[in-house]
A = this chain, B = another copy of it.
Amino acid sequence: METVSINRSHAGTQGVYSHASSATGTDMTFAVYVPDHEEGAKLPVLWYLSGLTCTHANVMEKGEYRRAASELGLIIVAPDTSPRGEAVPDDEAYDMGQGAGFYLDATEQPWSRHFRMRTYIEQELPELIASEFPVDMNRQGIFGHSMGGHGALTIALRNPDRFKSVSAFSPVVAPLQCPWGEKALGGYLGNDRSAWREYDTCALIEDGARVTDILVDQGTSDQFLEEQLKPQLLAEACEKAGIPLTLNMREGYDHSYYFISTFMADHLRWHAERL
């Protein structure tokens, strides 16, 4: 692991690191914020997964999480959203390929060699974080935005023993039922839609996966709300399954970090209470 940068901020350390990933076959960059703490202490860790087109840097620069993370004593890890580089396949559109890994392990060509973000987030990066940072891996939470909200929810549902808390901003909750999902899951996983279900929050819940509870914040002026995000599908799935869902519809807010930063501290407190 190499240190790309270190900046002191909000009584803690914002770092950016890179490492050679065996999961993706590329160098991967990620950000970790570590609040000041007593020597030898292990802090709970909160994973933030970003949305389409983002790197680790978007939330690091615009997410406004450090003040609350410092007050609450939470380590924040922000991975990239896909492998990147000249040797990595890409798509001309913003919603497929580099910057759009959808937190899955691709099975189709040309994606399957590098696009293994599920393995990266579920296995490889946690091992590195556990070895290099003062984290208590028995206290992990996960959240994310849009495609990253999809990632957070599906990873939490598939790994209920690992994560004690999960939340999302404007998540993609049903890739099986929206254009982003149709394109990405079809491209990465092929036409057998039964293989998509482990990457669909609503389908996972229908199929029996459970978490303790879920917090979602969603802007009512989000340009992707009706066609792509469809939070009512999550509300229906949670109601049927008996999963307590706190769904906050935020009047006039959009899909941007101006929205996310507004409710960031609320989400950190949600997680801190459960970690």
A residues whose Cβ falls under 8 Å from a Cβ of B: 7-11, 14, 61-62, 64, 66-67, 219, 221, 252-254, 256-259, 261-262, 265
The 10 A-B residue pairs with the shortest CB-CB distance in the complex, in nearest-first order: A9-B258, A7-B258, A8-B252, A10-B262, A8-B253, A64-B64, A61-B62, A9-B262, A7-B256, A14-B258
Q: Is B261 touching A9 in the complex (CB atoms < 8 A)? A: yes
- CB A102 to nearest CB in B, in angstroms, measures 26
Contacts A8-B254, A8-B259, A62-B62 supplied; 17 other A-B pairs, CB < 8 Å? A8-B219, A8-B221, A8-B253, A8-B262, A9-B258, A9-B259, A9-B261, A11-B262, A61-B61, A61-B62, A61-B257, A64-B261, A66-B258, A66-B261, A66-B262, A67-B262, A67-B265
Complex: how many Å from CA A256 to CA B261? Answer: 19
A259 cross-chain contacts in B, Cβ below 8 A: 7-9
- CB A169 to nearest CB in B, in angstroms, measures 13
- CB A267 to nearest CB in B, in angstroms, measures 14
8 examples of A-B residue contacts, CB within 8 angstroms: A7-B258, A7-B259, A8-B252, A8-B254, A14-B258, A62-B62, A64-B64, A64-B261
Complex: how many Å from CA A147 to CA B67? Answer: 26
Complex: how many Å from CA A71 to CA B219? Answer: 21
This chain's copy number in the assembly:
2
- CB A144 to nearest CB in B, in angstroms, measures 19
Complex: how many Å from CA A66 to CA B1? Answer: 35
With both beta carbons as reference points, the residue of chain B lying nearest to A12 in the complex is identified as: B262
A64 cross-chain contacts in B, Cβ below 8 A: 64, 67, 261
- CB A253 to nearest CB in B, in angstroms, measures 5
With both beta carbons as reference points, the residue of chain B lying nearest to A263 in the complex is identified as: B10
Complex: how many Å from CA A64 to CA B69? Answer: 14
- CB A87 to nearest CB in B, in angstroms, measures 31
Complex: how many Å from CA A256 to CA B13? Answer: 13
A62 cross-chain contacts in B, Cβ below 8 A: 61-62
Complex: how many Å from CA A16 to CA B113? Answer: 43
Complex: how many Å from CA A259 to CA B12? Answer: 11
Which of B7, B10, B67 contacts A254, CB < 8 Å? B7
A61 cross-chain contacts in B, Cβ below 8 A: 61-62, 257
- CB A55 to nearest CB in B, in angstroms, measures 14
